[in-house]
């Protein structure tokens, strides 16, 4: 399979994202509303998670095991991350566009977030955990990282109750595209 990295990055830069349907067919999608994770004082998390953070049970890494994070994100009963999409993520990673933000407990991968970084925009594709709280700690530490690197946008694509616990909010497609345009003008570097 030949992967056109430039076209894929351009699609994400225009506000689209890739997903596989139930039959494994890969296509571009957009939505009338987008979910963002705040990169300011609106970001929040449960007090119980602060206790976990204070215990330093997890270490954080970027791209230590990108392939395992891809596989972890795809390993569920119903997934929109097909084998073809995993290959695309690996190609994007090799080209420097896709990244994994990981939590580790010793030598065991505890959880991680898979995303695509384009200038000042981080587009979160998926997250998973193998050890309880692993993905939640990854979320907190990823937001800290994105703020430190001066990212403009953390796109979570679709709202769910888990993301709402972190202060995620919904904006219209028009507002999203304006914010994405601003983010694409910033020179941010994920690693």
- Per-residue pLDDT tens digits for 25-46: 899 998 889 999 999 999 999 8
Where are the extended beta strands (E) located within 26-97? 26-29, 33-36, 59-62
Closest CA to 125 of 32, 17, 29, 36: 17
Closest CA to 121 of 99, 90, 151: 151
Return the pLDDT at 76.
86
Residues of the chain with pLDDT under 70: 1
Return the pLDDT at 186.
95
Residue 140 CB coordination number (10 Å): 19
CB 65 within 8 A of CB 100: yes
Return the pLDDT at 78.
81
Where are the extended beta strands (E) located within 106-179? 108-118, 121-129, 153-157, 169-172
As a three-state string, the secondary structure of 62-82 is ECCCHHHHHHHHHCCCCCCCC
Helix (H, G, I), strand (E, B) or coil at 160: coil
Return the pLDDT at 152.
97
Phi and psi torsions of 29, nearest 5°: -135, 160
Contacting residues for 148 by C-beta, under 8 A, at least 6 apart? none
Domains in the chain, CATH or no CATH each: 33-77+97-184 (3.40.630.70)
- Per-residue pLDDT tens digits for 122-155: 999 999 999 999 999 999 999 999 999 999 999 9
Distance in angstroms (rounded) separating the CA atoms of residues 143 and 163: 13
Residue owning tokens 């009338």: 32
Return the pLDDT at 158.
85
Return the pLDDT at 84.
93
Distance in angstroms (rounded) separating the CA atoms of residues 171 and 191: 28
């Amino acid at each position: 399979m030949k992967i056109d990295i430039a076209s894929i990055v351009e699609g994400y830069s225009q506000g689209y994202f890739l997903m596989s349907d139930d039959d494994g067919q890969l296509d571009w999608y957009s939505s009338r509303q987008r979910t963002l994770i705040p990169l300011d004082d609106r970001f929040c998390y449960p007090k119980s998670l602060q206790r976990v953070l204070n215990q330093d049970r997890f270490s954080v890494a970027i791209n230590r095991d990108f392939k395992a994070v891809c596989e972890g994100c795809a390993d569920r009963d119903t997934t929109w991350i097909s084998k073809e999409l995993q290959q695309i993520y690996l190609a994007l990673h090799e080209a420097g566009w896709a990244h994994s933000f990981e939590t580790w407990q010793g030598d065991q991968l505890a959880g991680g977030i898979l995303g695509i970084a384009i200038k000042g925009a981080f587009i979160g594709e998926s997250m998973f955990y193998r050890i309880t709280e692993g993905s939640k700690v990854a979320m907190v530490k990823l937001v800290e990282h994105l703020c430190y690197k001066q990212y403009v946008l953390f796109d979570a694509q679709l709202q769910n109750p888990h993301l709402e616990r972190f202060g995620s909010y919904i904006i219209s497609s028009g507002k999203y595209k304006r914010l994405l345009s601003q983010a694409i003008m910033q020179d941010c570097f994920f690693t």
